[in-house]
A and B are shown apart, each in its own frame.
Chain A
Amino acid sequence: MATATTEKPIDAHDDHEHHPTAKTYWITFLALLILTAVEVAWSYLGLSGPALVVPLLLMMVVKFLIVGGVFMHLQTDLKVLNGYWFTLTFGTAVVLAVCVYIIVFAAFRWDI
């Protein structure tokens, strides 16, 4: 016999209710479009070195985060996770992966 419970179980589909609205998606798309246009314009300014590369990389990272956060629902899905071990695990993996790539680049750069 099932017993009555006052606590609602966490449903894997509850997160759908927290997803952004269509208006948010359109605004996000416009932001991505503007950032891409600025990126392309920046590449035509005739700059070189860090003045060219750093802003382009920054804009790339912002676009990356916007797509991941809004379109892939990371912004809302991360909130529904119980505890933070999942986020921590992924975060650690990302940091480790970035370290590996930096070491690989350093190895080639200085012929280690």
Chain B
Amino acid sequence: MSDITVEDIEAAGTEGAAKIEDAAVDHDEVDGHGAHEEHYTSLGLSNMKLAMWLFLGSECLLFGALISTYLLSKTRFIIELVAGNPDVIAGISDGENGELVQEMIDQQSVEPFFDIPFTSLSSFILLMSSLTMVLAHKAVSEGNYKNLRIWLSTTLLLGATFMAGQVYEFTVFYKEGLTYNGSLFGTAFYTLTGFHGAHVTGGLIMLGSLLLLSFKGKMQQDRAETVELVGLYWHFVDIVWVLIFTIVYLIP
């Protein structure tokens, strides 16, 4: 705020006071501390959104490295498995999954481990959550707080369902003999999908916070960008799953 005292206003008279108030409003708009936190940026994009994009850029490098590591590890694992390396075979054998291991050797692929219909359903759920997230942002932009809560709750529910699916999938894989330390493939697979799961969990916490703020009446139209920023993160998590689903699950 500009430093305007009562003495200034009295000295200026009624007309002068109005001009001083106008100047104060203009000053707020220029220095970005107005009631709606709107401000000028040389990019035409808010600083918070720019910061989120920079963060997501760094996340791209993280997941790029994890996906690359997975692909390289899987290839090396398959080569060793087909070559009959006893250490590699022992790493995924639990004494009861001989048929599954033999299927992997015959197909020269890790595909027998995966349950594609189940993972496809998980992908559908995550895609659906991206839609509900963007609809939540639209609702708060339009000042429709009832719809904001409905769509945020739906996104939260869908995200939680996806996570429950991932926990179930990990449990099944573990029971089938795919452990974190047993093989290079297991380590790379759990690290990649586990990191993604951790990001989804982070997104769920953010969504829960937004929902809580909304119920407290603190998520108003002028804070639509906060919902958009969380949405950007959530869509990024969805995009990473789009890559993982194709590269890890569909391409054997």
With contacts A43-B116, A72-B232 taken as known, whether A13 is within 8 angstroms of B225 at the C-beta atoms is: yes
- Asked whether B39 is an interface residue with its Cβ less than 8 Å from the other chain, the reply is yes
Give the docked Cα–Cα distance between A42 and B246 (Å): 11
B22, B45, B60: the one contacting A2 at CB < 8 Å is: B22
Give the docked Cα–Cα distance between A16 and B71 (Å): 39
Report the minimum CB–CB distance from A38 to chain B (whole Å).
Answer: 11
With contacts A11-B38, A25-B134, A29-B131 taken as known, whether A2 is within 8 angstroms of B23 at the C-beta atoms is: yes
Q: Whose C-beta in chain B lies nearest to the C-beta of A53?
A: B251
- Asked whether A108 is an interface residue with its Cβ less than 8 Å from the other chain, the reply is yes
7 A–B contact pairs at CB < 8 A?
A: A2-B22, A11-B38, A16-B228, A25-B134, A60-B242, A77-B45, A93-B57
Scan residues 20-55 of chain B and give those whose CB is less than 8 A from a CB of chain A: 22-23, 26-27, 29, 36, 38-47, 49, 53
- Asked whether B164 is an interface residue with its Cβ less than 8 Å from the other chain, the reply is no
With contacts A13-B38, A16-B141, A101-B68 taken as known, whether A64 is within 8 angstroms of B235 at the C-beta atoms is: no
Give the docked Cα–Cα distance between A110 and B184 (Å): 20
- Asked whether B123 is an interface residue with its Cβ less than 8 Å from the other chain, the reply is yes
Check B127 against A29 for contact (C-beta < 8 Å): yes
| 5 closest Cβ pairs, A-B complex | A12-B46, A2-B26, A60-B246, A29-B131, A10-B44
Residues of A near B124 (CB, < 8 A) are 33, 36
Give the docked Cα–Cα distance between A68 and B29 (Å): 31
Report the minimum CB–CB distance from B229 to chain A (whole Å).
Answer: 11
Which residues of A pack against B, CB within 8 Å?
1-2, 9-16, 19, 22, 25-26, 28-29, 32-33, 36, 39-40, 42-44, 52-53, 56-57, 59-60, 63-64, 67-68, 71-73, 77, 80-82, 86, 90, 93-94, 97, 101, 104-105, 108
Residues of B near A52 (CB, < 8 A) are 251
Which residues of B pack against A, CB within 8 Å?
19, 22-23, 26-27, 29, 36, 38-47, 49, 53, 57, 60-61, 64, 68, 71-72, 75, 116-117, 120, 123-124, 127-128, 130-131, 133-135, 138, 141, 224-225, 228, 231-232, 235-236, 238-239, 242-243, 245-247, 250-251
Check A39 against B224 for contact (C-beta < 8 Å): no
Check B60 against A97 for contact (C-beta < 8 Å): yes
Residues of B near A93 (CB, < 8 A) are 57
Give the docked Cα–Cα distance between A52 and B116 (Å): 16
Give the docked Cα–Cα distance between A26 and B127 (Å): 11
With contacts A29-B131, A43-B250 taken as known, whether A12 is within 8 angstroms of B243 at the C-beta atoms is: no
Check A105 against B72 for contact (C-beta < 8 Å): yes
Residues of A near B22 (CB, < 8 A) are 2
Check A105 against B68 for contact (C-beta < 8 Å): yes
Check B246 against A56 for contact (C-beta < 8 Å): yes
Check B138 against A22 for contact (C-beta < 8 Å): yes
Contacts A2-B22, A13-B225, A81-B45 supplied; 10 other A-B pairs, CB < 8 Å: A10-B40, A12-B45, A13-B224, A43-B251, A56-B246, A60-B246, A67-B238, A71-B231, A101-B68, A105-B72
